[in-house]
Structure 1
Amino acid sequence: MSVSTTRPALIEQGHWLTVRDCKRVLVVVHTVTFAQRLQEVFGLLESDLRIQLVFTAAPHAFGSGVTQYLQELGIVTVPWEEALRTEFDLALAAGSRGVHELRAPVVRVSHGAGHIKPLTDTGSLAPGERRPPGMLSRRHLLHEGRLVPAAIAYAHERDLAELARWCPEALPAAHVVGDPCVDRITAGLPRRAEYRRALGIGSGERLVVVTSTWGPTSTFGRLDALLPQLLGQLSGDGHRIAMLVHPNVFAGHGTRQVRSWLAGCRDRGLALVPPEADWQAPLIAADWIIGDHGSLTVYGALTEATLLLTPGPRREVSDYSPTALLSAVAPVIAPGYPLAGQLDYAARSRRRGQYDDVTAALSSAPGEFHQRMRSVVYRLLGLGEPALAPLVSPPPPPPSLRQWEVSAGWEAVQ
């Protein structure tokens, strides 16, 4: 049965609804990445009969695929223009674009592993002034001098110290709630063997996961340098290779184009995990993670995998971010040398506690995100919380890597 992707009647014709007198919460989704983080928040509310969730896809340069992603979750959306002219009791957003126009108190949710990338628009900074991370900056939190969010969710206590430096006006709205990815990955670690079986990793096989953020300095942006090594030295030699690529790469270039650039990898054992898939289970299942300065590489420090970094742009990484800490202790791939030998050396050289400072910087409230986040939202809604502790589920078992492999006829069936 087909489902319409928009539902204006939910707002305009409330008298037709069966469950009435609900608090209405608007979920503002700019990108697939933001949708994945917001799912950790709206999932805390959707079973409450006192709350009606309404979804909208907000305009964004990387917004391609949002409506389809939501539709696959069984969610239909209202048009952005309609959401702007309607009053809600609360709005949830992980991005800042356009949210100052909403007629609702806004909860801004952090996304990613800490605040990695400094502000790219430096027009408001003094010459030589250090660039703040985006979600700690006035540009992303204020509009015409007014604080936009009613609440801002951060992962770590030290975010408050940075916020005091860059946008002290936002401190009264700041809440430290932890990181949902940290909590779910931690919950999934005991299921590593199950994830490996689901992925089809056989006895004696090793899984190499390549992670990439977006942008010209990402792993994918320089794939012509790394991919020949991966396929030439590892493929078919007891190694399975999977790529986790940031959804913005697919949204920016188009899914068909991304797949076409990998057409030369057909039938060579490379699996490309689609942007809408859960990435946490493959990360937990990995023996090695080769990654850049993106969030997934940092989250890999929570797992049993051996990490290797691709050379990255130091100026594009915030000095106080977990990524900066990781780059100071993780081995870096040496171009021109056999990759298999570097993987073995990194595995032998890993020290106990090598990444403790990195993982500690991801969350100052491990295991507490869902409880703390729910308390913030219900307080703003003026509702008592459900008399049940929120469930922190481990990642679900993934499909087999064979389903994602770049193979003959691949583009035709995707």
Structure 2
Amino acid sequence: MTRLQDRIPGRKQKDVFALVHKRSVVSKQELLESGDWTGSTLTRTLEELTALGVLEEAGFGESTGGRRPILYRTNPAYGVLFGLDISRMYSLLVLYDMHLNKLDSHRWTMTERMTPDVFIAEVAAQAEAMLAARGVPPGAALGMGIGAVGPLDRSAGTIVAPLYFPAQGWQNVPIAAALEERLGIPVLLDNGANAALLGEHWASRGQQYQHLLYIHVGVGLRSSMMVGGKLVYGAVDMEGAIGQMIVQADGPKLHPGGNYGSLEAYASIHALEQRAQSQLKLGRDSLLRTLPEPDKVQYHHLLQALGRRDPLAVELFTQAATYFGIGLANLLNILHPEKVILGGPLISADPLFFQTCTRIAIQNTYYYPSYQVLFSRGELGEEALVTGAAAMVIGAMTE
């Protein structure tokens, strides 16, 4: 099995490849202006990378008075790679080329049947089938990146103790090693929020944002931060920490290990379900009362009621978005990102949540309007995570 770090020899070669990948299409002059190498060194390096097959010539740029410059880009046919999104409700495997164009995909619903052993076997079988369909020999893919629900141990490739998985057994799962053994390719693991932010950063690479905050709002709250174009890592996996931000000290606790009055107790799918059930038991009038029992109310019922602008559903989503906006303002006042990308089921379900939470956040941002932040629902939608997971494979080639 070829290590990803060994595919491109030498620090100069790795740095040039990284710049070309970042810029998409770039001329030699632009590369010279971005690095500290000489013209002859860069020419030799580009020739080496082209001969290796990781770069290719991409035509000619506009002339500035002399000969038209040769353009370079990564070679999409150099190899294929996988991205894998492991989430609580759904998981997704996608096969990509080197430009992260989707070649094939398969989606699973994470039911009670999806124990780690079953899931790993099905992922391996699907990956092998995707490669076989394109005539790629077993073990010839570059690698697989996984973005998974945390907490996890990134260096060990282990999913440690995620909450709310429907199936049993998702504690201390050595997912990276298990898939490496079955597929014979390198497998990398990071939390889903980091992977999603990598995906969105890659998709918006032409805009040159360097300080980004990503938050996924769904069953739980997951976040990641990028400073200077690099992901920020703490001493432990930080993905779910935002959900434990206290916004109401005497508030409820969503699960036994959480804080009282935490943000996730007000702005998450479980919080919405619990609040709806409580209000129905109090006798609130709503379209949701057509269900046999209040305890049967689930998120999809709330979405249906919100789509019909049921007053109770609108109230519940507005309250959740307001609390989330307060938590978001706290993060803006501490971190001051240039851009905030919001994703997940609560963001994509209805414009009401996004519009409300961003308005509340701006109202409570201390340096506004001198400090301006861009809010976005992202360019990749629900495929940000799996795209970023695949991008991890390309990134590892430059380490």
TM-score normalized with structure 2 length: 0.31
- Structure 1 or 2, whichever has the larger Rg, is 2
